[in-house]
Structure 1
Amino acid sequence: MFGLHYRLERKAIGLTLGIIFVASIGGLVEIAPLFTIHQTVEDVPDMRVYTPLELAGRNIYIREGCYACHSQMIRTLRDEVERYGPYSLAVESKYDHPMLWGSKRTGPDLARIGNKYSDEWHVAHLNNPRNVLSVSVMPAYSWLLKTTLRTHDLGAHLKAQRTVGVPYNDDMIANASKDAYGQAAPDSRYTDGVTQRYGKATNVRAFDGKPGELTEMDALVAYLQVLGHLTDAAKKTVANDAR
């Protein structure tokens, strides 16, 4: 075996071809499953898409690097299920581009953080984590409460998501900016349009406590509050496993 390797080292072309061949095996293992992704990921009738406000919050979550410390993948291990809830299903990240699965946790897993805490708790925690947990090592994101959310290009964000398979329709894209405002301003004239397009179960409220302003804090809290609630598939899976 070593003799073959030594002979290859003397021939640059042969060594290069050998490296390409070995590297291609790993690439094939990673790429091949993508061709059967539609058979791998389940279809569930109650799966819903992110609203424009929630999608904007997800973009902020990625922008601020929150994924580097918080995974969104509960594994099937007993201690994880007991702490975080039902294990994660592929379909729950069906409309996540990019998806945020992973195992790196400086902070807790957030796959099912939605509605676990109040909006006020999230605002206080993001504004200064030490006010909620004195030993927290999480940085403060106080500027989110002061920064107006950019909404004029949300339609383009939805349109880009549609090109990769998220079923946003033309009406959703055309009204993206209005729907973002309407979701965080429950008394506005745009609120009804949000529930008509995204369902009555959509969270509609002033997430940052200031209904007259649309901030990045509104968007991020709206996103956090929907995690684990895009579908009830996980709960149904647990119920079926228990039978």
Structure 2
Amino acid sequence: MRHENIEKNIGLMTILTLIVVSVGGLVEIVPLFYIDDTVEEVESVRPFTPLEQRGRDIYVKEGCYLCHSQQVRPFRDEEIRYGHYSLAAESKYSHPFQWGSKRTGPDLARVGGKYSNEWQVQHLIAPRSVVPESVMPNYPHLMEELDYSQLQARMRALKAVGVPYTEEGEDELYQKNVERWGEDVAERLHIPNAEESLKAEAEEGNFDGDPSKLTEMDAIVAYLQVLGTMVDFDEYSEPEQGRSRGF
């Protein structure tokens, strides 16, 4: 049957369209019933702390994801350059995830701890001062004061989609967080204490090198320094033995 005959027969075209849409829908929906087999159980992967989460917000606001993916694909060349291929579980608390496919700059999935705080600050303020061939814009405005007035509201929004931040009275969830990641981390994931936790973390890390004020630079460097650090990849098999569990 020629295509024009289908286009001229509205009833037939409607039926064929419904069939195509149904098949496409099943292809997308059925795998969701097996999501527990797709996303690995990695107990060490935790939600971002308040400071890290604000850093992630700034990362998205500044459009960093447009040039830097956070997905090491299961190919030998990528593993040699960036490290172990990305696990789905690494992004379980990231809304939205930052996998991406665009790399004007290098992938950042494993950038945490690769450079010092001082290097990160200098690179963000004046990229070509440390990487002469860089085409990245300058971000000196990140040294401005950090706005965290909506911090608790942002955390509650993330909690609504499954991130295990805790509220007052949620003793059972709080205890689970203690068992998973320790009391210090569980305290940072407690929404009513979020502002105090954010300030304490910035003071402890002194990410921007200026302890006199809390800046956007503190937040984004804290975020960059945690990327790829939550999983001990020594516990996982070689990529050839487990590629189906990655991306």
Q: TM-score per shorter chain, which class?
A: 0.7 to 0.9
* 1:78 has 2:96 as partner: no
* 1:158 has 2:176 as partner: no
TM-score between the two structures when normalised by the length of structure 2 = 0.82
The counterpart of 1:59, out of the listed 43, 57, 60, is: 57
* 1:176 has 2:194 as partner: yes
Contact 2:45-2:231 at 8 Å conserved across structures: yes
Contact 2:126-2:139 at 8 Å conserved across structures: yes
Partner Cα distance (1:241, 1:9) in 2 = 48
Unaligned runs of at least 5 residues, structure 2:
169-189, 242-247
Q: Which amino acid in the other structure matches residue 150 of structure 2? A: D
Q: Which amino acid in the other structure matches residue 146 of structure 2? A: L
Note the alpha carbon deviations across 1:26-81, whole angstroms, 9 max, x for none: 34323332333233212222222210000111111111111111111111211111
Partner Cα distance (2:63, 2:22) in 1 = 31
Partner Cα distance (2:142, 2:93) in 1 = 25
Q: Which amino acid in the other structure matches residue 150 of structure 1? A: D
Partner Cα distance (1:20, 1:124) in 2 = 56
Describe the shift of the 1:19–1:208 C-alpha distance in structure 2 as closer, same or farther (beyond 3 A): same
Describe the shift of the 1:23–1:215 C-alpha distance in structure 2 as closer, same or farther (beyond 3 A): same
Who is 1:49 aligned against? Answer: 47
The counterpart of 1:95, out of the listed 67, 90, 93, is: 93
TM-score between the two structures when normalised by the length of structure 1 = 0.83
Q: CA RMSD in A?
A: 2.0
Describe the shift of the 1:24–1:210 C-alpha distance in structure 2 as closer, same or farther (beyond 3 A): farther
Query: How much does 1:11 deviate?
Result: 2.7
Q: How does 1:180-219 map to 2 (within 5 A)?
A: 180-186=198-204, 205-219=205-219
Q: Which moved more, 1:129-138 or 1:35-44?
A: 35-44
Partner Cα distance (2:162, 2:203) in 1 = 29
Query: How much does 1:13 deviate?
Result: 4.7
Query: How much does 1:134 deviate?
Result: 1.3
Unaligned runs of at least 5 residues, structure 1:
187-204
Partner Cα distance (1:154, 1:13) in 2 = 54
Percent sequence identity is 53
Query: How much does 1:17 deviate?
Result: 4.4
Query: How much does 1:112 deviate?
Result: 0.5
Describe the shift of the 1:26–1:64 C-alpha distance in structure 2 as closer, same or farther (beyond 3 A): farther
Contact 1:70-1:108 at 8 Å conserved across structures: yes
The number of residues matched between the two structures is 220
Describe the shift of the 1:74–1:28 C-alpha distance in structure 2 as closer, same or farther (beyond 3 A): same
Q: Which amino acid in the other structure matches residue 67 of structure 1? A: Y
Q: Which amino acid in the other structure matches residue 101 of structure 1? A: W
Partner Cα distance (2:137, 2:25) in 1 = 37
Partner Cα distance (1:72, 1:37) in 2 = 21
Partner Cα distance (1:79, 1:57) in 2 = 30
Partner Cα distance (1:241, 1:77) in 2 = 9
Contact 2:84-2:239 at 8 Å conserved across structures: no
Query: How much does 1:240 deviate?
Result: 9.4
